[in-house]
Structure 1
Amino acid sequence: MLHALKAIYRNGAFVLQTPCNLPEGAQVELLIQSPQVVSPPISDSEIKQRFLKSVVERMQQNPIPLNAPRFTREMLHERR
C-alpha cells in the first residue's frame, strides 16, 4: 500500500507534517524529493557565459515536441 506523507528532516530524524496511522514498529521506505535545484556556483563571468551558452544550445537541440502532452492545472499544483 502506498501513502504519501510530508516530513521535515530535523536533528537526525524525520518529523512528520501530516498525520499517519501506522502501527508501532512499522517499516517504511523513504523517497527523498529535493525541494529545489541548486545552481552551480560559478563566479568567473567567462565560465558562466560558456555554461549558459551550452545550456541554451542543449535546449535548442532537444525542443519540446509540438504533440507533447500538456500539463493540467491540477498536475502543476501539490495535492494534499
Structure 2
Amino acid sequence: MSKIIGAIEVNKDRCKGCALCAAACPKGVIAMSKKVNACGYPYAEAINDSCIGCASCGIVCPDGCITVYKKKLED
C-alpha cells in the first residue's frame, strides 16, 4: 500500500502572522518564525516533516499564503 506524505510552501512576503494555520494543523507542523517578513510580521513556517497533506492550513489562511502538496510514496 502506498503512503501519502504532504508538504507546505508558505509565501512569506504575504503572510501577516495571524497563526490560524498553526492552530488548524492537526500534526503541529506549522509554527510562527522568529524572523519577520518585509512588512514586519512573523511568518508561518514548517518546523517538521510530519505533514499529511490535509490542507487545513491552506483552507483557514485568510490571505491564501499556503500551498499544500501531496506526494505518493511507493513501497
TM-score when normalising by structure 2: 0.19
Q: Which has the higher strand share?
A: 2
TM-score when normalising by structure 1: 0.19
Of structures 1 and 2, the one with the larger relative CO (CA 8 A, separation 6+) is 2
Q: Which has the higher helix share?
A: 1
Larger Rg: 1
